Chain A
Amino acid sequence: MDRRDTGSGPAPDEITESPEAQELIPRLLTGTGVSPGAGYGPARLVVGDVPEPAAGSRHDGDAPAERDRAERALDEVAADLEERGARAGGDAEDVLVAQAMMARDPELAASVGLLIDQGVAAPRAIFEAFGKYRDLLAAAGGYLGERVADLDDIRDRVIAVLTGLPIPGIPLDAAEPYVLVARDLAPADTALLPKDLVAAFVTEQGGPTSHTAILARSMGVPAVVGCAGATAVEPGTPVLVDGATGRVRLSPSEDEVADALRAEEARRAVLSAAAGPGATADGHAVPLLANIGGPRDLEAALAAGAEGVGLYRTEFLFLDRDTAPTPEEQEEAYRAVFEAFPHGRVVVRTLDAGADKPLPFLPPPGEEPNPALGERGIRMFRRHPDIMTAQLGALARAVTGATANVEIMAPMVATAQEAAWFAEACRTAGLDSAGIMIEVPSAAIRAADLIEVVDFFSIGTNDLTQYALAADRQVSGVAGLQDPWHPAVLDLIRTAASAASAAGKGCGVCGEAAADPVLACVLVGMGVSSLSMAAPALPWVRAALAAHTLEQCRTAAAAARSSVTPGDAVEAARAELPGLHQLGL
């Protein structure tokens, strides 16, 4: 990566600008590129901070019109909250309906009207009227004190409507695709996000494995994370995002935009030339599979030429609902995926829930200061064997009659005993291929013991990196450590892949690392037998593999593993992979 012109100082072409203009916002921001490609559109900010309307601001004297404006804004916000509630259902609906009631509160409306009659402008009247109740609730403390945030949220939404500011929350409708700028995004924020509306993501926080990064790659949308100063960008500013280099250009010239979009098109053309099953230049087959969250992701997987599914995350069936999905519902979702790949592999990961992904119908695992090290994945299954039995039963019924090669695996396995317990449960249910995820370093280190009791491994590099380097994926301060190129991580992968290969069994990779075309070559060079990734990454990885022989991949892997730092490992591997250049990688 070229870092010469990404420093904090102004680039030469910016020095001529007036000092005032430079003080406002620099024209170039830099973060970590986590999803390649160029994206261009107006900035839409999701920051949730609506400024306080100035004290003493007055309307122009038409009190009835101003009252009408305030009432309509309150009503619009209430209707929106009710609609979101109806769509969300469950506990979220209760909260949103209660918020809507607050927006429709007749006493509040009376206070607002009174202030407007005294000449106060509508936004300020809203602010002051809410302030009275805010103080009452805050003074009460406890449960009521916690409602202050709900009240502030409604107030900010109403003020945003009145002043034309973006409404807090992710906009779900827009005339043209926008660049979504936020501090960070949570899975719940983005659950309803339409794919064709986002030209690019830019977040101030987060690292390469943050939810934003994963979401962006799965959507095939360029993204830059860890971008300091992003949320200070003026809404509506045209933004050009380079998801490979991490450069975010504000108000670029027409030429810059045209160049970037042309280069993007050229790269895509090279990519589309690569087709067919995954293999190295000398014909060593490496099945390329897709990571999916459910049947709705199948179309993209098939379009990108996936040979099967390497990671079917079944938890999406279980999230955001009050009751566990019925056996019939599960069976139907599983069967839809099996039927999409009648001759391919489908690797199903059993429910991966825990304190960070709580399910309303399971008792919470209790206070966990660090959910990443808590009762999640297979550990949660051991506490709720009924959930596992139901899931394995539904899978076994869906497999009946399916021609796909279905394999089942469990997440978060740390020991050979856990692996044996899970394999036994699968066989009891009538499922004949049972594997485990390699995410916990203990499982990688003792891979030779674990492979004895299961049929295959699939390495989850995100969690494996998090645990190997003790760097929480959610903490942007340690994002620098969260790098799958770290030689310690490469060593663990190598250990697992060698153990599997010695036992004549398969070892895939289904983490984000498989989606990095350079690292994909290195993984194959270390003996990884299949790669699974978000569908949009498949063409890149297919092209990178096709450009190199297995021997070149092995040499690159050895070079990476003899490095000391992740940066050196990338450079060492790249030096052995001459075919990357023509792909613009």
Chain B
Amino acid sequence: MAERKVSVEAEVGLHARPAATFVQTAAKAPFDVSIAKAGGRPVSAKSILSVLALDVRQGEAIVISADGEGAEELLDRLAEIASTV
């Protein structure tokens, strides 16, 4: 199981366009990808509704995890999207 902990930097938080890009990227993976607020319950990173409902604001930390071939690369990309201002 690969895991990353990153801080969300976009001004709008993980909402609107950053959230859409994040979910679109996760949805391409053939394996499960999850996202949680630090210490919170993980939800599917492929679900825009679940991601929005987490209500991640600018400066908050998220934990993303996945297991499968190419999981490391995918998490790197997702971490980059989340940490893009």
Contacts and interface: CB of A to CB of B under 8 A. Distances in A.
Q: Do A and B come from one complex?
A: yes
A551 B20 CA distance: 69
A375 to B, nearest CB: 28
Interface string A107-124: 110000000000000000
A151 B24 CA distance: 18
13 contacts: A102-B49, A105-B49, A106-B46, A107-B43, A107-B44, A107-B46, A107-B50, A108-B49, A133-B53, A137-B53, A140-B53, A144-B53, A147-B52
A101 B53 contact: no
A270 interface: no
A105 B43 CA distance: 13
A101 B51 CA distance: 12
A105 B48 contact: yes
Nearest to B23: A101
Contacts, number: 46
A105 B47 contact: yes
A532 B44 CA distance: 60
Interface of B: 12, 15-17, 20, 23-24, 27, 43-44, 46-50, 52-53, 55
A412 interface: no
B49 A144 contact: no
B15 A106 contact: no
A157 to B, nearest CB: 16
Nearest to B12: A143
Contacts of A151: 49
B48 A98 contact: yes
A431 B83 CA distance: 53
B54 to A, nearest CB: 9
Contact of A98 (B16, B27, B46, B55): B16
Given A102-B49, A137-B52, 16 more contacts: A94-B16, A101-B20, A101-B24, A105-B49, A106-B44, A107-B44, A107-B46, A107-B50, A108-B47, A140-B53, A143-B15, A143-B16, A144-B52, A144-B53, A144-B55, A147-B52
Interface in A131-170: 133, 136-137, 140, 143-144, 147, 151
A97 interface: yes
Given A143-B12, A143-B16, A144-B15, A101 B48 contact: yes
B53 A136 contact: yes
A105 B47 CA distance: 5
Contacts of A101: 20, 23-24, 48
Please give me the 5 A-B residue pairs with the lowest Cβ-Cβ distance, nearest first: A107-B47, A136-B53, A133-B49, A101-B48, A140-B55
Interface in A64-109: 94, 97-98, 101-102, 105-108
Contacts of A108: 47, 49
Nearest to B43: A107
A333 to B, nearest CB: 32
A147 B15 CA distance: 10
Interface in A341-400: none
Q: By CB atoms of chain A within 10 A, which of B12, B27, B53 has the most? A: B53
Interface string A554-576: 00000000000000000000000
Contacts of A97: 20
B59 to A, nearest CB: 15
